[in-house]
Amino acid sequence: MAEITGIYTASHTPVMLNFPDRIPASLRMEVFDAYKTMGADFAAGKPQALIVLSNDHLHNFFLNNFPAFCIGCAESYESPAEHWLHAKRRTFEGDQKLGAYLLQQAYEADFDPSFSMEMVLDHGSLTPLELSGLDPNLPIVPVLINCVQPPMPTMRRSYQLGRYLGEALRAYDGIDRIAILATGGISHDIATPRMGMVNEEFDRRFIDLMESGDIDATLAYATDFVHTAGNGCEEIRMWLAALGAANGAKYERTYYRAINDWYTGIGIGRFAL
Amino acid sequence: MANWQELIPSTRAYLMDKVLYQLHHNDDHLEAYKVDADAYLARFNLPADLVRCIKGNDVAKMYLSGVNPYLLRAHCIGMKIPEDVSLAALRSLLTRKEYNNG
């Protein structure tokens, strides 16, 4: 039986790596320090593997065949997928056995994800891993949710995916300690007329609801108001999956700022497990 | 307000998505496009107006045509369209009736 040593939610944006100087140095350092703090907290739990809940930004998948959910079952993952991303190339070790286990357990739990034996991680996974300074040798299992092309899985279904994920991880006997990083959101628009107009009110209300522990209210708010907070905000599906995996553990924000010049509401938080 | 111009891609949008996807995911495609954009785009059987807006880096029209915004964003960065230029083009649509503002 494995212990989940940490569950974090954290925003990601390639702007952090490609255009870091669009915000003042002091603010940039504040954000980067928040990611480093997250990384140190993760490391303190000594996880032997990390589940990265993220989304593919149309790199591995195209509209000729786009899965709602996909679980990585590869031995390793190259990154980044984007030729234009200002990040060093790196290869993440994969936990193939854990990925295969999660895939099988998903079917047992009435989920039908696709799986991938060869996946190139994009900025969604790479940015928070890079900024948090997590050990690059920590084996990972990517679990991807479609947040970039409607129609998408519902917010509630994403939460339920997390419920299954948490239960499956706790029942796993292959290793002792596993952590989860859920990355995406919060309010931001990608290549729309609202790009750079972060809906801070949405973000703060969403985080408040996450902290309240009222799951139905959180899911209802996410469902009913995501359209006010940008296409990038659809990535809160990963936060809701983390909420499901946390199985009632209390959530607390560790950082939030609406950063219009990075086009994104940057939020980080963790569950008190 | 709405997050998406199209809730399921039209065939026109899909064709443009296909161009932008292939341009930035195949090693030699971006180079081929830069050498001869017309010849490259001819591979895709695009309507003439979409050929013009891609060739002209018309970010606003690409957006209105329903292209996936993530592909559009990657295209802007990959083609080194200045950040403030692409942003201004998108912002110019805020009051346009074609913009699906919900």
Judged against a pLDDT cut of 80, whether residue A135 lies above it is answered with: no
Amino acid of residue A73: C
Interface of B with A in 58-87 (CB under 8 A): 59, 63, 68-74, 76-78, 83, 86-87
What are the pLDDT digits (tens) for A201-231? 999 999 999 999 999 999 999 999 999 999 9
Domains held by chain B: number: 1
Q: Provide the domain limits for residue B69.
A: 11-91
Q: Residue A250 belongs to what H/E stretch?
A: strand A250-259
- Domain positions in chain A are 3-272
Q: Name the residue with tokens 């996946």.
A: A119
3-state secondary structure at position A248: coil
The helix/strand/coil state of A264 is strand
In a domain, B97, yes or no: no
Q: Band of the pLDDT at A245, cuts 50, 70, 90?
A: very high
pLDDT at residue B100 in the model: 85
Residue A134's pLDDT band, with cuts at 50, 70 and 90, is confident
Are the CB atoms for A5 and A178 separated by under 8 Å? Answer: yes
Residue with tokens 């593919």: A56
CATH of the domain at B77: 1.10.700.10
Contact across the interface for A191 and B86, Cβ inside 8 Å = yes
Average confidence score pLDDT of chain A: 96
Instruction: Report residue A15 as tokens.
Output: 């702007």
Min distance A208 CA to chain B CA atoms (Å) = 23
Q: Flag whether B3 is in a domain.
A: no
Give the pLDDT mean for B86-93: 96
- Chain B partners of A196 at a C-beta cutoff of 8 Å? 87
What architecture (CATH level 2) is domain A3-272? Answer: 3-Layer(aba) Sandwich (3.40)
Token representation of residue A104: 């099988």
Q: Is A63 in Cβ contact with B17 (below 8 Å)?
A: yes
Choose the closest CB to A193 out of B17, B25, B93. B93
Residues of A in Cβ contact (< 8 Å) with B7 = 150-151
Q: Which residues of B touch A84 (CB under 8 A)?
A: 24, 74, 77-78
Q: How far apart are CA A104 and CA A95, in angstroms?
A: 15
Give the list of residues 6+ apart from residue A115 with CB closer than 8 angstroms, or none: A70, A71, A72, A73, A99, A103
- What digits encode the pLDDT tens for the residues B19-72? 999 999 998 999 999 999 999 999 999 999 999 999 999 999 999 999 999 999
Specify if B56 maps to a domain: yes
> Is B66 a domain residue?
yes
pLDDT given at position A100: 98
| Cα–Cα distance measured from residue A257 to residue B69, given in angstroms and rounded to the nearest whole number | 24
Q: Which residue in chain B has the smallest CA separation from A149?
A: B68
Residue B72 lies in a domain: yes
Tens of pLDDT, residues A31-40? 999 999 999 9
Q: What number is the ipTM of this complex?
A: 0.95
In whole angstroms, give the CA distance from residue A248 to residue A176. 21
Both tokens assigned to B84: 């403030």
B64 domain residue, yes or no:
yes
Instruction: Determine, yes or no, domain membership for B96.
Output: no
Q: Give the mean model confidence (pLDDT) for residues A239-256.
A: 98
